[in-house]
Structure 1
Amino acid sequence: MSKEEREWGADCGVGATALWIAYIRDREKSREKPAFDDDYATRFLRDGKGKEVAEAMARALFHSMFMNASGDDMHASLTLKYALPMFGRWHMQRMRGEPVPQELVEQAALENPLAKGVRIRTAYFDERIRKAFASGSTARQFVTLACGVDCRCLRLECLQRGVATWLVDQPAVISSFRKCLPELDERPDISTVAVKFGEELWWEKLLAHGFDPSLPSVFLIEGLVMYLSKAENEEIFRRVHSLMAPGSILLGDYVNRGFLDHPMVEPFVDELRKYNAPWTYGARSSATWGRTLSRCGFEVREDRPSVELKTCAMRIKFLLIDYIGTWVPSYRVYSAVKKRSSTEQERPKGEGSPAASA
C-alpha cells in the first residue's frame, strides 16, 4: 500500500489499531495482578470502536493461538502446524469458515498471542522508560513517534519531573487525543505535534516545537515499523539518529517476516487489510534487525520476544525460532543506543550537535 493509499484517521487505518491497543490496556485493570496501570485508556473507547477492532482481531486469530492458555508454552496442537507451513495452510483452509462462539470472543480479545504481546511490551517499555529517566539520568526529553493514544506522559511519574515530552502523530489522531485529555492544556511540558506524513517533515516540526538535539533524549517507536516499508523505516531511524545527542536511547518493537507470510496468520493479515492498516514490513531475525539499526547509527543493547519466557524450554524454543525457524511468527521488543561517531568523540565539549542543522 502506497503512502497515498493509506488511511490516516483517528478511527480508521493505523488510528483504528491504536484504539485496539487502548482496549487491551484498559482491560488490564481487570486482571488480578495488572502488569501496568492506564486509567486514561478508557476515554478513547466510548464509541465502541476499540472493542470492535479487538474482537475482530480475536476472531481472526482464534484458530491459530500460538501460545497455550497459561502463556507458559506453545500451543501443543498447533506447534507442528507452525513448524511446517504446509500443515498450517491445510489447517487454516479447514478452520477459516468455522464460527467463533460470541461468548469466547471477549476473552480471546485479551488472551490471543498479540494481545498478550501488547500487554508485555507495554510493561517492558514502562520499565525501560522509568530506568532511562531515573534519578541521576541526563535524559530530559521524551519523544513518541506515531503516539496513537499512548498516555505515558500522564501516567508515568518519571515523565512528570522536569522531562519535556513530544507526541507525534497525524492530525486526526492528535485532535482526538487532545479532546479526550483536556488536562494537556495544563501541561506546557507536553507538546503534541500533528504531522501530515508524506507531505510534511516530522523532524522539522519536532524542532519547531522546541526539541533540543543537543540534549540526551529517549525516542519510543512503538507499533509503527510494521506498517511501513523498509526504506521508510530506515529513513525514520536515520532522522532519529541525527536528532539524538550522545547518551540517547531508542526503544521500539517489530515483527519478523513470519508474521506477514505464514499461512497460520493469513486471517489476521486479511483483517488488518479490512481496516486499511496492513502490515508491510518484517525483519528476518533479530540479527537482521540489529544490522538495520546499525546501518542507521544504533547499537542494540537488548532484543527479546514479547512473550513471557517462564521456562528454559521456552527460551530455547524462541531462540531456535529467531535463528532457524524464522518463518514462525515472532513479535519482539528492543532497546538501543546511539553509536558515537568518531567526529562526535573528537568534538570539544559545548560544540553543537550536527542534528541542529538537519
Structure 2
Amino acid sequence: MAALRAKENDRPDRLFEDPYAGRFLAAAGVDPAKWSVGPATGTGFLELVADQVAVRTRFLDESLLDAAGGPCGQVVLLASGMDARPYRLDWPIGTRVFELDFADVLGFKRHALVGSGAVPRCEHVEVAADLREDWPQALREAGFQPDVPTAWLVEGILYGLPQEAADLLLERVTELSAPGSELAGDHIEDSDVLRAARGAISPELVELWRGGPTGDLDTWLEGHGWEATVHDIRVVVGTFGRPTPPAFDPTIEGTGRGWLVTARLGGQES
C-alpha cells in the first residue's frame, strides 16, 4: 500500500497527498518495480489495483474527516500498517487519533519519519497491540473512551480474515462504540486475476485473502446494529474520474468485485 500511495502522490492529478509513503519504502529497502511484473496476463499487482487504492484512500480520508468534524471526537486506525493519516490529514482541532498495530510496525514508522519534518496534526496515540489478542484492553489503557462516539477505520483488513475473525472484530468494535459512532472500510472479493498477480510476487501471498464476512456487507453490519451504506468500487472510481481498475473490470475474465463502506451505529443523530 505504501508503494501505491507513493505512486499516486507522484501524479499531477493525484487524489491525495502522501509525502511519507516514499520514506517508508526507502526505509524498508523495497523496490516496488518487481510488483509491476505480472503473470501470464502481463498485468502486475500494482497496475491491477492502483486506481482502486487511490480512490479508496481518498474516499476513506473524506469519511474519517467528516466523522471527526461531526460527532466523533476520537478516531481508531485498526492495523494501521504504513498509514500516514495522523500526519497528512487536516484533522479538526481536538481530534484524538489512536493508531493500533504491532509494536515493530509502529517503531519502524517512527524511524522512517525521522528527519522528514512529519508532525502529527492531531493528538496522536500509538497503541501496540495484536488484533488476535485483547486489543480492546490495550486501547482503553491508552486513553480510549468508550462513551465518546468514535470513527473506526477498517481498511485492508476484512478480506484477510476468516469469517469468525471478522465477526469477532466487528463484535469488539461494536462493544467499544458509543451511539453515533461511525465506521469506514473496504472489502474485496478474491479472484483468479488477483491470485495470479500475488503469486507472481511471492507464493506466500496467494493465501493472503481469507474471505472475510460472508454475504452482503450491509446485512452483516446491520446485524450488529450499524446502519450501512455500501458502494461498488466500480461506481466510486468513476465519481473521481478514474477508470475501472483491471482487477474489478467485469469485461476481463477472472476478475472480482470490490466495495467501500460507511456505517453508523444507531441510537444518536449526527
Q: What is the TM-score when the length of structure 1 is the normalising length?
A: 0.64
1:40 offset after TM fit, Å? Answer: 1.4
Residue 281, structure 1, aligned to residue 215, structure 2: no
Rate the CA distance shift 1:337–1:116 in 2: closer, same or farther, 3 A: same
Q: Which residue of 2 aligns with 1:90?
A: none
* Cα distance between partner residues in 2 of 1:130 and 1:255: 23
* Cα distance between partner residues in 2 of 1:44 and 1:215: 32
1:34 offset after TM fit, Å? Answer: 1.0
Partners of 1:191 and 1:209 within 8 A in 2: yes
Partners of 1:226 and 1:254 within 8 A in 2: yes
1:339 offset after TM fit, Å? Answer: 2.9
Following superposition of structure 1 onto structure 2, how do residues 306-321 of structure 1 map, counting pairs within 5 Å?
308-309=237-238
Rate the CA distance shift 1:242–1:148 in 2: closer, same or farther, 3 A: same
Deviations 1:211-256 (A, max 9, x none): 0011111000111111111100110011101111111100001112
Q: Which residue of 2 aligns with 1:222?
A: 155
Q: Which residue of 2 aligns with 1:335?
A: 262
Q: What one-letter code is carried by the residue in structure 1 that aligns with 2:266?
A: K
Q: Which residue of 2 aligns with 1:78?
A: none
Q: Which residue of 1 aligns with 2:56?
A: 121
- Which structure has the larger Rg? 1
* Cα distance between partner residues in 1 of 2:84 and 2:3: 13
Partners of 2:149 and 2:179 within 8 A in 1: yes
Structure 2 regions of 5+ residues with no counterpart?
none
Deviations 1:253-304 (A, max 9, x none): 1112xx1xx43333124346435871111556xx622222222322212422
* Cα distance between partner residues in 2 of 1:179 and 1:163: 24
Q: Secondary structure of 1:45's partner?
A: helix
Higher share in strand: 2
Q: Which residue of 2 aligns with 1:95?
A: none
Residue 231, structure 1, aligned to residue 164, structure 2: yes
Q: Which residue of 1 aligns with 2:65?
A: 130
Partners of 2:86 and 2:121 within 8 A in 1: no
Q: Secondary structure of 1:281's partner?
A: coil
Rate the CA distance shift 1:296–1:310 in 2: closer, same or farther, 3 A: closer
2:14 to 28, 34, 47: 34
Residue 22, structure 1, aligned to residue 2, structure 2: yes
Q: Which residue of 2 aligns with 1:97?
A: none
Following superposition of structure 1 onto structure 2, how do residues 137-148 of structure 1 map, counting pairs within 5 Å?
137-148=70-81
1:118 offset after TM fit, Å? Answer: 0.7
Higher share in helix: 1
Partners of 1:64 and 1:264 within 8 A in 2: no
1:27 offset after TM fit, Å? Answer: 2.0
Following superposition of structure 1 onto structure 2, how do residues 176-325 of structure 1 map, counting pairs within 5 Å?
176-182=108-114, 189-198=123-132, 200-256=133-189, 259=190, 262-270=191-199, 271=201, 273-275=203-205, 278-282=208-212, 288-305=216-233, 308-309=237-238
Aligned length: 260
* Cα distance between partner residues in 2 of 1:39 and 1:149: 12
